[in-house]
Amino acid sequence: MRPSPSTLLRVLYRIATTAGLRLAFFGLLALVAAWEPLSQVGRTNDFRDAHLLYAYEEAGARTVATYGQAPLWNPWTCGGQYALGSPQTRVASPTVLLSAALGAHRAEAVVLWLFLVLGMEGFYRFARQRTGSAAGALVAAPFFGLAGFTAHAWSLGWLNFAGFLLLPWLLFGTRRAAEGHLEGAALVAGGFALQLGFGSSYPVPMSALFVALEAVRTLVSQPVRRSGRWRAGVWALGATALFTLGASMFRLWPLVETMRSAPRIMAGTPSHSLETVGRELLQFPSNADVGHFFFLPGALVLALGAVLARRRAAYPAVLAGLCLWLASGYAAKPSLFAALRLLPVFGTLRYPERFLVPAGLFLAELAALGFAALLLRSTRGRAWKWASGVACALAVAGIAVQVIGFSTLAGRVTLVPTPIAVDQPFAQTRGNRWAQGYFLPLNRGSIACGEAWPVPMSERLRGDLPQEEYLEDPGAGTARRVTWTPNRLEVDVDATRPTALLINQNWHPGWKSSVGEVVSREGLLGVTLPAGHHRVELRFLPRSGLGGTAVSALAWGGLALLAWAKRRRGGASPWPGPRAVAVAALPLVAMGAMWVGWHEPEAMPVLRNTDGSLLGTAELPANARVIHGRFERPVELVAAQVPSAPDARGIVPVVLYWQVRGKVPRSVGIWVHVAGPGERKTADHAVVGGTFFFRDAPRRALLRDAFALSAKDWEPGEWKVLVGLWYAGDDGARLKAFTDDGTPVPEDRFEVGTITVPPKPKP
C-alpha cells in the first residue's frame, strides 16, 4: 500500500523539526555518499596534488602528535616552509587534531564526512530562515551539501575545498548579526576562521563576496527597513566584520606576510561556453569529462515552483544567474569574472567554473522555496494536495540520485597502499615534486617543490649532505646535532674562530637563536657565532603566527565579553552599537602595537623568471638588440635577446627587456608570434617574468622577461620573432605601437630577432 502524500509530508516535517532525527538523516546520507572514501581509509591518493597536500597535513599531524608542538614550521616540504603562511595547508584548522589522532590518511575521509553533515545542516538553517519552511529546507539541503564538486575535489586530494560547505553558515550568521543577534557574529567570525585555517584559498574570497551581498540584502529587506533597525544593523555588521578580521588573524597575518615576500600571480583568460557550464552543473557524472559540479536537474523542477513565492525567489534567482555569468569566465561578453579580478585578492582566482558551487546554493534555495510554496497550497484542493505529494516523491528520489552522483565522483580516486614509515633521523633529499607523499614517511624532506606560488627556496639546499647542520668554514671546528624537532633545534658547536653554523633548511625571519645572530646565507638558515664552545638552540617563533594567535584570542575574548554583558542585562537588549565596534576594534589596535613594538626582519622577495634568472637588471647586456619600442600605454620594449638558432635540444631562450613608466591596465599582456615557413607559433603571456602584471610592476625599473620556445617541431628555415602588447583580459585588441620618435609601427608589432632552424638530419 502506497503512503499518502500527507503521510510523506508528516514524516518529512517530523525529521526536519527534530534536531536529532535531522542530524541522523544528514549523517546517514553523508555516510552513503562518502562510503567509497570511508571504506578506503588509510590508503594513499596517488594523484600528484594529493601527494603535496597530504604531505602538508601529515607534517602538521606529526608535529602535533610526535613532537607535541604547534604546526608552525614544516621542514619536510620545499626545503622548509612556514606552515601557517602556505595558502593550501589546513594545519591551522582544528581538524589537524583528528589527523594527529588517526593519522592524516585515515582522518581525511572522516573530515570529509563531518563537513558534508556540516554543510547540509548549515544549508537547512539558512534555507529555513529564508523560506520559513522546515520541510523545504530539509529536502533541498542534500542538493547543496552533496553537490558534486566536493566529491570531485576529494578524488584529487583537494579536501580543503570542503570549506565551500561553510558558505550557508556564513550567510545565515550574517543575517542573524544584522538583525541584532550576537551568535550571528560568532558564526561569521568562526566560519571564516575555519575556512582560512582549513586552507580554503578559493572559498574565503568567494564567500566574502556573497556575505557582503547578503548583508546588503538583509539591510534593505522590508522587515528591517520598516522597523527602523537598519542603523543598528549597520553597527552590528561593522562589529561583525572587525571581529571576523581579529578572529582570523592567526592565519591571515601569516598569509599576508608570505604573499608579500612571494606574490601569487594568476594570469590567463579562462573561458567556458554556456553549454560547458550547463554540462558541468547538470549532467550526471557518467564519464570523467563532465558533471564535476553535479547538481540534480530534477531540483530545478522544484525550483520552478519558486515562482509561486514571487518576491522571495527574486534574489536567489538573480544570484544564481550572476554565478553562472561568473562561471563562464572570459567567454561572456562583457565578462563579470574579468571585472571581479580587478579587485584586490580576487586577482588570484584562476578557475571561474568554481562559481558553480555558490550557484548550486542559490538553486537549492529556489528548490526549497518551490517545495515550500507547493506545501502551502496543499490544503486548497485535491489537485494541489497531489501536486505537493508528487513534489515530495520527486524530492526523495532526487536526494537518492544526488547521493549516487556524489558517490560516482568520489569513486574516481586512484588509491595505492600507504608507504611504510621508516624511523630515521631527518635529512633533506632531492625528492620529487609530485610524489612527496612517499618522502615524509621516510623522514626525508623534499627540496623539489610543486607549489602553485613561488616558495622562497635557497639555491644552497642540498640533498646529499653527510649531516644537515655544518659550519660554513669546515676548518673552523665541528657541529653536532643534539636535538631535532620541526620548531626547535639544538646543535653543539666547537669553533676555533668566528664562523657561521648553517642548517640545511630555508631561512625565515621567525627563527631565533640562543647564541649569535640568525642570518640568511643566500636563503639558507644560518647563525653567526663567535669562537668557543656553544650549545646553539634555534626556535621558530614567528611574529605573525604568535602575534596573530594572540589577536584572535583577544577577538574571541571580546565577543565573549559582549555575550556576558548581554546576558547580564537579561539577554533581550540588542547589541550596544558603537560600544560593540569599539570592543571589536581593540584586538586590531593591539595588533598594530605588536607590529610597531615587536621587530622582526622582513623577508624581501627575490624576484626571478621561471628559468631562475633575476627579474630585475641594472643595465642591458652587450649582445642585447636595442629597440626602444613604445606603446599607447606607458610601457617600453627597451631591448631583446634572441639567439640566431636553437640550441642542441631545440630550445630557443628569449629575453625581452621592459620598462613601465606609468599606470597600465591589468588586462595588458604580451603577445609573441614566431612566423616561419607557412605557419606561426605563439608564446603569449600576461605576466612579466612570471611575476608581475604590467599594472603592478615597479616603475622605471629594467625588467627581464625571460622565457623559452621549443623549436623541435618547426620546419627548417628562417623564423621571425614578433612582439607586441594586447588587451589579453579584455577585447583582445592590440595596443598601438610607435618607434622612439613617435612614428606608428605597421601591425603594431616589433621584430626582435630572427631564428634560423637548420634542416633536420636524415634518419
435 in a domain, yes or no? Answer: no
**pLDDT given at position 763:** 66
CA distance linking residue 54 with residue 436, whole number of Å: 8
**pLDDT given at position 501:** 97
Which whole number is the average pLDDT over 565-589?
A: 81
**pLDDT given at position 579:** 87
Which whole number is the average pLDDT over 235-250?
A: 95
- The domain spanning residue 630 has which CATH number? 2.60.40
pLDDT at residue 225 greater than cutoff 70: no
450 in a domain, yes or no? Answer: no
What share of the chain in percent tops pLDDT 70?
93
**Are 203 and 332 in the same domain?**
yes
CA distance linking residue 119 with residue 125, whole number of Å: 10
**pLDDT given at position 397:** 86
Amino acid at 723: V
Residue that finishes a domain, picked among 354, 379, 410: 410
**Are 151 and 244 in the same domain?**
yes
Which whole number is the average pLDDT over 353-361?
A: 95
pLDDT at residue 658 greater than cutoff 90: yes
pLDDT digits (tens, 9 = 90+) for 156-181: 999 999 999 999 999 999 999 988 88
Q: What is the DSSP string of 634-648?
A: SEEEEEEE--SS--T
575 in a domain, yes or no? Answer: no
427 in a domain, yes or no? Answer: no
Instruction: Measure Cα distances from 144 to 166, 326, 549 in Å.
Output: 11, 19, 33
Residue that finishes a domain, picked among 511, 540, 569: 540
pLDDT at residue 142 greater than cutoff 70: yes
**Are 495 and 406 in the same domain?**
no
**Are 79 and 212 in the same domain?**
yes
Closest CA to 672 of 756, 751, 757, 739: 751
**pLDDT given at position 573:** 58
**Are 367 and 467 in the same domain?**
no
Instruction: Measure Cα distances from 416 to 432, 437, 445 in Å.
Output: 17, 11, 21
pLDDT at residue 605 greater than cutoff 70: no
563 in a domain, yes or no? Answer: no
**Are 220 and 335 in the same domain?**
yes
**Are 524 and 656 in the same domain?**
no
**pLDDT given at position 150:** 94
Contact 672, 722 (CB under 8 A): yes
Closest CA to 274 of 324, 333, 344, 335: 324
Residue that finishes a domain, picked among 481, 508, 540: 540
| Sign of the alpha-carbon dihedral angle for 22, 28, 29, 31 | positive
Closest CA to 365 of 230, 210, 240: 210
**pLDDT given at position 572:** 57
657 in a domain, yes or no? Answer: yes
Radius of gyration of the chain (CA): 29
**pLDDT given at position 75:** 97
CA distance linking residue 414 with residue 105, whole number of Å: 14
**pLDDT given at position 135:** 87
Which whole number is the average pLDDT over 261-289?
A: 81
Closest CA to 7 of 393, 401, 400: 393
Instruction: Measure Cα distances from 317 to 210, 290, 365, 729 in Å.
Output: 14, 24, 9, 28
What share of the chain in percent tops pLDDT 90?
59
Give Cα 211 distance to the centre of its chain: 18
**pLDDT given at position 2:** 42
**Are 56 and 122 in the same domain?**
yes
**Are 509 and 370 in the same domain?**
no
pTM higher than 0.85, yes or no?
Answer: yes
**pLDDT given at position 3:** 43
Q: What is the DSSP string of 123-181?
A: HHHHHHHHH--HHHHHHHHHHHHT-HHHHHHHHTT-GGGGGGGGHHHHHHHHHHHHTT-
Which pLDDT band holds residue 350 (cuts at 50, 70, 90)? confident
Which pLDDT band holds residue 759 (cuts at 50, 70, 90)? confident
Closest CA to 513 of 530, 527, 494: 527
SS3 668: strand
pLDDT digits (tens, 9 = 90+) for 59-96: 999 999 999 999 999 999 999 999 999 999 999 999 99
Number of helices (H), then strands (E), belonging to the chain: the values are 22, 23
Question: Treating both helix axes as pointing N-terminal to C-terminal, what angle do 134-145 and 19-33 enclose, rounded to 10 degrees?
Answer: 20
15: left (phi over 0), alpha (psi -120 to 50) or beta: alpha
CA distance linking residue 333 with residue 351, whole number of Å: 17
- Report the b/e string of 593-625 with b at 16+ CB within 10 A: ebeeeeebeebeebbbbeeeeebeeeebeeebe
Q: If 0-12 CB within 10 Å is exposed, 13-18 middle and 19+ buried, where does residue 210 land?
A: buried
CA distance linking residue 499 with residue 172, whole number of Å: 59
**Geometric angle at alpha carbon 592, from 588 and 597, rounded to 5°:** 145
Closest CA to 518 of 531, 533, 508: 508
**Are 638 and 728 in the same domain?**
yes
**Are 396 and 467 in the same domain?**
no
717: left (phi over 0), alpha (psi -120 to 50) or beta: left
Kindly report the average pLDDT of the chain as a whole number.
89
Give Cα 457 distance to the centre of its chain: 21
Find the domain containing 497 and state its range: 458-540
**pLDDT given at position 306:** 67
Which range, 341-345, 573-577, 622-626, 689-693, has the best average confidence (pLDDT)?
622-626
424 in a domain, yes or no? Answer: no
**Are 392 and 483 in the same domain?**
no
| Sign of the alpha-carbon dihedral angle for 563, 567, 572, 576 | negative
**Geometric angle at alpha carbon 279, from 353 and 364, rounded to 5°:** 70
Domain count along the chain = 3
pLDDT at residue 525 greater than cutoff 70: yes
589 in a domain, yes or no? Answer: no
Of 207 and 298, the one with more pLDDT: 207
**pLDDT given at position 667:** 83
